[in-house]
Amino acid sequence: MTISLEVGSVIEVRGTRVKVQVYKELNHSSFIYEGEVINNISVNSFIIIKKGLLKLVGKIDAEYIEDLINNKKSQEKDYRYNKGTISKLLEVQILGYLDKKFFNNGVKHLPMIGNLVYIPRREEILDIYAGNRTSGNNNNENTFSIGKSIHEDISVDFPVNSFFASHMGIFGNTGSGKSNTLTKLYFELFKTVGVSYIKRASSFHLIDFNGEYAHKGVFGLEQNEVSIVNLSTNEEHGEGRLKITSEYFYTPEVLSVLFSAKEQTQKPFIKRLLKRMENAEENGWGFKNYLPNLFAKSLVHSSKDVFQYIKEIIDYLSEDIQDEGHSSFLELINAIQWHTQNNYYFISGVGYFNTVEDIKHTYSFQTGFGYLVEWCSRIDTGIGWCDNFILNAKLQLVSDMLNRYAQFDHINPLIHRIESKVKELEQIIELTDQESIEEMPIMTIYSFRECSSDIKKVIPSLIAKMLFDTHKKETKQDNIEKTIHLIIDEAHNILSNQLMNEGKGWHSYRLELFEEMIKEGRKFGFFLTICSQRPFDISPTIISQVHNYFIHRLVNNKDLEMIDNTIPTLDRVSKAAIPTLASGTCIVSGTALSMPVFTQVEQVYGKEKRPNSDNIDLCKLWM
């Protein structure tokens, strides 16, 4: 269609609200015009109002008829049918104007009564959606399409840079099609730009809580282009380990919230523990030095509890040892007795101990000290990071009790939490130096399907922190050469604003981390894509900082209120349509577009390319 079809004229202007009278002969649903089938205008359709050489763009908010004879002001009513008295009227909201194929959003010009109204041509609709960039073949910018606009039934091109160099949010109830939208977005990106070009400067990381994306061929990528990390706290299903640098794991901030450390007593303990571990590593100190030394000091200390705790540590290390020499050593330390009246340790027939040197030299054999030194030198190199951390925490408690830095009752609950959580972490984490991390392919998928709820709350945040801090450290704001794109499916699991069974410290830390990412990430080339069926549960600060939205059907009032309060780019009509959107239909809105686009997202063909979220065919299953 080269010439726009005239359909009516302006009969009233009230600010940006305009009333249009439609010609009587144009009440059909569609027309054949210049050899093309043209859909007639209706609610949510665009119209063009020509004011001289200007083309004003409006959107229809309402459509109704009016009887010109029997109107409200008429004193006498004539109810006889008269075809010529019925007039079709439209209420139109002015959105902007077209200037040399560019759509300028905002009211700079208003129509006048008598201006003619036209159905926009396909090219004009594309120009409206394109905004301040050129649409169609004249556009030099890379674009992609995820489907067709609902009202105009035309494929709408979205700018690659404006979407993927931004934070994106995909929201919708279960079965609304949000998983397909997420897949379609990145499938079209890799297909349009090309994996070989993208991987030079970008990497993509997907947090997958339900394991929907953890299979070959997802997003249309080849096997060597995807790394799938299947994490599991179930020993029978564990297939891999997550490599996390010691630099990020062994920090007071992370460990304090990970083990729910109390501010006044337990956080200082963790700081002392990490400081001692750092000094031990720098100076080559190990258990062969530290444990025997504390063993000797505890025997000359005036407190019974210290040595008893040392014996518990030795029992912890002796669980799997069945050796005659070790059994003799355990018999020796069990023979050491406590004198309740004089408050000191002694060995019957040998006596008590005056100094540490007595134990190390004079009574080295009687106390088992000599064997302990030799035994500790053997276990020093064969202990894993999990047992190493637990043992260091226990020894730090002994040291603090000897120096009266801490009380046993204050720190022991923390030790128990460390023991229970670290054992679980050991099943999925491999601590490593930063230099040893292998170069990953373009897409890394972390599946948490087989993980406990505690792990699902903690590890994704550690992954995000490590990615963000490392990228921030290596990137200069004035010269960004690499980007990281973090995709979080079912994002409400870790971005929830509600306090769950995790402790206030971890809840605050987690929110502060992701709020910093979404506020500052764009400056460093770090971009988030969050996908959730419960936007109300996500922090409003995070949702309000998202640049571009894909909104599927939402029916919960709290979710709708969240959308209404945090997304400024949605108009009144678009918001009202959210609860009635069909499956696979979404409203695309945000900074990359001049206005919201109602889009029917095309399904990614090929089951291996899609997430495992299709509806079950019960009839096929039963038959």
Task: Write the Ramachandran bin of 349: left for phi over 0, alpha for psi from -120 to 50, otherwise beta.
Answer: left
Residue 340 in domain: yes
Name the residue type at position 494: I
Q: Phi and psi (nearest 5°) for 517?
A: -60, -45
pLDDT at 505: 67
Residue 386 in domain: yes
CB contact set of 226 (below 8 Å; sequence gap of 6+): 216, 218, 219, 441, 442, 443, 444, 445
Residue 147 in domain: no
Shared domain check, 264 and 168: no
Question: 138 pLDDT band (50/70/90 cuts)?
Answer: very low
Cβ atoms of 160 and 189 closer than 8 Å: yes
pLDDT at 172: 94
3-state secondary structure of 322: coil
3-state secondary structure of 209: coil
Shared domain check, 385 and 496: no
pLDDT at 147: 93
- Other beta carbons within 10 angstroms of residue 74's beta carbon come to 11
- Other beta carbons within 10 angstroms of residue 42's beta carbon come to 11
Cβ atoms of 455 and 446 closer than 8 Å: no
pLDDT at 437: 46
Question: 382 pLDDT band (50/70/90 cuts)?
Answer: low
Q: How far is CA 597 from CA 38, 342, 481, 482, in A?
A: 19, 84, 32, 31
pLDDT at 327: 79
Residue 163 in domain: yes
CB contact set of 150 (below 8 Å; sequence gap of 6+): 585, 598, 599, 600
Question: 236 pLDDT band (50/70/90 cuts)?
Answer: low
Residue 241 in domain: no
pLDDT digits (tens, 9 = 90+) for 171-190: 999 989 999 999 999 999 99
Query: What is the average pLDDT across 91-102?
Result: 88
Question: What is the percentage of the chain residues whose pLDDT exceeds 90?
Answer: 33
Q: What is the DSSP string of 440-494?
A: P-SEEEEEEEES-HHHHHHHHHHHHHHHHHHHHHH-BTTB---EEEEEEETTHHH
- Distance of alpha carbon 548 from alpha carbon 460, whole angstroms: 23
pLDDT at 135: 56
pLDDT at 585: 94
3-state secondary structure of 516: helix
Domain that residue 126 falls in: 6-130
Q: How many CA atoms lie within 13 A of 97 on its CB side?
A: 16
Please determine, for residue 325, whether its predicted confidence score (pLDDT) is greater than 80.
no
pLDDT at 360: 81
Shared domain check, 531 and 389: no
pLDDT at 169: 95
pLDDT digits (tens, 9 = 90+) for 271-320: 999 998 888 877 767 666 788 888 888 888 877 888 888 888 888 877 76
Please determine, for residue 323, whether its predicted confidence score (pLDDT) is greater than 80.
no
Cβ atoms of 557 and 576 closer than 8 Å: no
pLDDT digits (tens, 9 = 90+) for 431-443: 887 654 456 789 9
Please determine, for residue 68, whether its predicted confidence score (pLDDT) is greater than 70.
no
- The alpha carbons of the chain give a radius of gyration, in whole angstroms, of 35
Q: Which of 405, 429, 453 is the last residue of a domain?
A: 429
Cβ atoms of 119 and 14 closer than 8 Å: no
Cβ atoms of 135 and 128 closer than 8 Å: no
Residue 536's nearest CA partner among 188, 240, 171 is: 171
- Name the least confident of 155-159, 496-500, 532-536: 496-500
- Name the least confident of 289-298, 358-367, 489-498, 575-584: 358-367
Shared domain check, 453 and 586: yes
Cβ atoms of 63 and 54 closer than 8 Å: no
Helices (H), 362-403: 364-367, 369-379, 385-402
pLDDT digits (tens, 9 = 90+) for 332-360: 888 888 888 877 788 877 777 778 887 88
Cβ atoms of 46 and 120 closer than 8 Å: yes
Shared domain check, 462 and 313: no
The encoded tokens of residue 415 equal: 């030790």
Shared domain check, 378 and 256: yes
Q: How far is CA 345 from CA 291, 351, 443, in A?
A: 18, 9, 61
Give Cα 7 distance to the centre of its chain: 48
Q: Which of 383, 398, 429 is the last residue of a domain?
A: 429
Q: How far apart are the first and last CA of the chain?
A: 51
Residue 175 in domain: yes
Shared domain check, 101 and 21: yes
3-state secondary structure of 170: strand
For all residues of the chain together, what is the average pLDDT?
Answer: 84
- Distance of alpha carbon 547 from alpha carbon 539, whole angstroms: 15
Shared domain check, 444 and 377: no
Q: Which of 429, 462, 492 is the last residue of a domain?
A: 429
pLDDT at 607: 84
Residue 560 in domain: yes
Residue 259 in domain: yes
Shared domain check, 254 and 163: no
* H or E element that contains 523: helix 504-524
Please determine, for residue 75, whether its predicted confidence score (pLDDT) is greater than 80.
no
CATH number at residue 201: 3.40.50.300
Please determine, for residue 114, whether its predicted confidence score (pLDDT) is greater than 90.
yes
- Name the least confident of 155-159, 268-272, 380-384: 380-384
Shared domain check, 444 and 338: no
165 vs 359 pLDDT, higher one: 165
Question: Based on the structure, what is the number of domains in the chain?
Answer: 3
Shared domain check, 415 and 273: yes
Sign of dihedral through CA atoms 562, 563, 565, 566? positive
Cβ atoms of 111 and 56 closer than 8 Å: yes
3-state secondary structure of 213: coil
Cβ atoms of 92 and 20 closer than 8 Å: yes
Question: 373 pLDDT band (50/70/90 cuts)?
Answer: confident
Length of the chain: 623
3-state secondary structure of 208: strand
Q: How many CA atoms lie within 13 A of 215 on its CB side?
A: 12
CB contact set of 293 (below 8 Å; sequence gap of 6+): 356
Shared domain check, 597 and 473: yes
